[in-house]
């Protein structure tokens, strides 16, 4: 296994897929210079400008053109630069791409990977910091993926490119430089969570960079004698209900943590699913997410919106202190 960054892991996955299949190509803004976060560095030199295609600043045009190309047999990777900017192409994604397979009775599909760098990145302010994964999980026809590690960014990118349905692929901007071991023999599987840490006292469910925060919280809890089980969903649709329910039945306690605004966030879906399963809980479930507030440019105000390892650990401590129901 090689050690590489989160950004380089995805770049390797893209390059391998393009070498194997000449139908795979990339389109978006700034690709010719390697991408805003350098996640395409060197690809235009290898594959040329027809397959690493620089586009004008028109997200709707990029998404629409890629959709047409997908419908006639290619497999585009659409770079939206920032998840926030991708909202300019929401009609093409939600009303056209997501519905194409259904509307054409399965005669045509839209095998596309729509890359949307998400999340808070130091002092990026309200228009460059949003986590909108819950929006896309709500839309029938879309696969939604939020990898948190270099390994998963490689394996899930390979799976996303091979998928015959459109995949909204949300990479967290704050962890492009995160390094880890990557086994290139592994391929990801949508709807299959990863057990980041085993434990019998409390279940912590998360995804994207907050899964890394949750793992750090579990380490701090272990020092206090609390064994937390950390489940990284990786994909939000489909999502691994079985892994969550099996864990909660074992621990009797549930914390769901995510960076997105808590109101209407996907954490509510996880909690509701556990509640409806009839699993017996020793304490009320806890959702940790951002308040319903815009992200400030000022670092001290931005930090007030973050879900931290200390917050997760404190919630677990309180759960352990509560009297069993």
d(CA 124, CA 297) in angstroms, rounded, equals 6
pLDDT attached to residue 325: 56
**Catalytic annotation on 258?**
no
Residue 233: what pLDDT? 98
Radius of gyration (Cα) for the chain, nearest Å? 20
Q: Whole-model pTM above 0.75?
A: yes
How does DSSP classify residue 121? -
Q: Could you tell me the pLDDT band of residue 324, with boundaries at 50, 70 and 90?
A: low
CA nearest 283: which of 270, 274, 296, 295? 274
State pLDDT tens for residues 123-146: 888 888 899 999 999 999 999 999
Q: Does 323 have pLDDT greater than 70? A: no
For 199-239, the DSSP string reads -SSEEEEE-HHHHHHHHHHHHHHHTTT--EEEEE--EEES-
Q: How far apart are CA 170 and CA 148, in angstroms?
A: 10
15 dihedral zone (left: phi>0; alpha: psi -120 to 50; beta): alpha
Q: What is the pLDDT of residues 191-221, one digit of tens each?
A: 999 999 999 999 999 999 999 999 999 999 9
Angle made by CA atoms 275, 255, 313, in degrees to the nearest 5 = 160
| DSSP string over 234-298 | -EEES--HHHHHHHHHHHS-EEEEEEEESTT-HHHHHHHHHHHHT---SS--EEEEE-S-PPPSS
Neighbours of 214 (CB within 10 A): 30
Which domains are assigned to the chain? 2-182 (3.40.50.970), 194-321 (3.40.50.920)
What's the pLDDT tens digit per position in 245-276? 999 999 999 999 999 999 999 999 999 999 99
What is the DSSP code (8-state) at residue 106? T
Rounded to whole angstroms, the Cα distance separating 260 from 31 reads: 28
Contacts of 4 (CB under 8 A, 6+ apart): 12, 150, 179, 180, 182
Which residue in the block uniquely carries the two structure tokens 């509510």? 268
Residue 177: both structure tokens together: 């430089």
pLDDT digit string, tens, across residues 277-299: 999 999 999 999 999 999 988 99
Share of the chain above pLDDT 90, in %: 90
pLDDT digits (tens, 9 = 90+) for 62-113: 999 999 999 999 999 999 999 999 999 999 999 999 999 999 998 889 999 9
Selected catalytic residue, list 128, 138, 172, 258: 128
Q: In the prediction, which pLDDT does 126 show?
A: 83
pLDDT at residue 121, as a whole number: 85
Please give the pLDDT value at position 322.
76
Mean pLDDT for all residues in the chain: 95
Mean pLDDT of 159-175: 97
pLDDT mean over 6-31: 97
Find where tokens 């959702």 sit: 287
Task: State the alpha helices, DSSP H only, in 21-90.
Answer: 43-47, 59-71, 90
Please give the pLDDT value at position 310: 97
């Amino acid at each position: 296994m090689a050690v590489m960054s989160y950004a380089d892991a995805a770049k390797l996955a893209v390059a391998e897929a393009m070498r194997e299949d000449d139908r795979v190509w990339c389109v978006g803004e700034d690709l010719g210079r390697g991408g805003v976060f350098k996640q395409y560095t060197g690809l235009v030199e290898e594959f040329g400008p027809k397959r690493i295609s620089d586009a004008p600043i028109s997200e709707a045009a990029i998404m629409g053109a890629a959709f047409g190309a997908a419908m006639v047999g290619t497999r585009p990777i659409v770079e939206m630069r920032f998840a926030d900017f991708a909202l300019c192409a929401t009609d093409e994604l939600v009303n056209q791409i997501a519905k194409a397979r259904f509307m054409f009775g399965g005669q045509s599909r839209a095998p596309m990977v729509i890359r949307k760098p998400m999340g808070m990145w130091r002092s990026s302010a309200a228009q460059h910091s949003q986590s909108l994964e819950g929006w896309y999980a709500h839309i029938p026809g879309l696969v939604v993926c939020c990898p948190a590690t270099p390994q998963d960014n490689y394996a899930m990118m390979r799976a996303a490119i091979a998928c015959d349905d459109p995949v909204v692929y949300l990479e967290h901007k704050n962890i492009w430089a995160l390094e880890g071991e990557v086994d290139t023999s592994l391929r990801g599987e949508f709807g299959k969570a990863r057990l980041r840490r085993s434990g019998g006292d409390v279940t912590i469910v998360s995804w994207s960079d907050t899964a890394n925060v949750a793992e750090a919280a579990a380490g701090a809890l272990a020092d206090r004698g609390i064994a937390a089980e950390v489940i990284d969903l990786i994909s939000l649709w489909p999502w691994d209900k079985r892994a969550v329910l099996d864990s909660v039945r074992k621990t009797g306690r549930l914390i769901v943590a995510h960076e997105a605004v808590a109101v209407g966030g996907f954490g509510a879906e996880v909690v509701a699913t556990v509640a409806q399963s009839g699993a017996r809980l020793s304490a009320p479930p806890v959702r940790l997410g951002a308040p319903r507030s815009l992200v400030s440019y000022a670092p001290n105000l931005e930090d007030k919106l973050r879900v931290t390892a200390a917050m997760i650990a404190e919630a677990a401590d309180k759960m352990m202190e509560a009297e069993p129901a």
